[in-house]
Structures are given as structure tokens and as C-alpha cells.
Amino acid sequence: MNLTGRTISNGQAQGSALVSQMGISFFGGVDPETGLVTETGHDLYGQSIAGKVLVFPTGKGSTVGSYTLYRLKANGLAPCAILNRECETITAVGCIISDIPCVDLLAIDQIQTGMQVAVNADEGIVTITQSPCLQETT
């Protein structure tokens, strides 16, 4: 399945999707030294965003969040790509200065955690290459 959106930050990446139904505040909500979501009550609390295709509706919080994304990248703990329903300035700037591919204006409800996703932000195309594993019950 292909989704088409708007390029925010160029680049290409592929990886496993980590999907949140909530906005993310990188400053105070993600630890740049561990890559873990630390915001109490967040649906991704305690999970690592490192190397994931991070999918969330929109960003929130302080403008220092852009620098937090940069620190995550410098520490090797950044997501490999970011996909949003609507990217706001904090996330956009963070992706641009950190060379993280970012696409928005996407129907992110089509993406589930664990799906394998290829992001071609140069073209604004997101391809879901594999569905998450389904476990059989006996």
C-alpha cells in the first residue's frame, strides 16, 4: 500500500513503524540519552523511538524539541523517519537540522505498530511493505 503526502525533510529510510495516537513533545517527553519516551501517560511511555519509523499525529511542546531531535540523532537514538498527520514547526525544524526524513499530510491511521515501512521523503511517498506479525492462537 502506498500513501502520498507532503515532504517536510528530504531523505529515504525504511524500518519498523512505531505508532502513537498522541502528539509527541520531544523536549521533556523523550530522553535524548536513551531514546525512550518519558512522558507520563503517553501511549508510547517507556518505548524506544531509536531506529523506528515514528508515526504520530503532530508534535507539541517547547521549541527546544527541535534541538532534542538533533541530540537524539547525534547520540544514534533518533527515529529513522517521522510521519505525521500534520507536522508543526518544532518537529519540522528538528527533522531538517537532523537529516531525518519527514512526510506529513498522511492518513496515518493506515499504519500500525510493527508494519515495515519504506519512506521516500524526496517524493513524499510512504510504502507499507509488510503488515505486523499476527500470532495464531490455539
Q: What amino acid positions are annotated as catalytic residues? A: 62
Q: What is the C-alpha to C-alpha distance for residues 129 and 74, in angstroms, rounded to an integer?
A: 28
Q: Which of these, 29, 31, 25, 80, lies nearest to 57 by C-alpha position? A: 25
Tell me the C-alpha distance between 42 and 44, whole Å. Answer: 5
Residue 110 main-chain phi, psi, to 5 deg: -85, -10
Q: CA–CA separation, 36 vs 33, rounded Å? A: 8
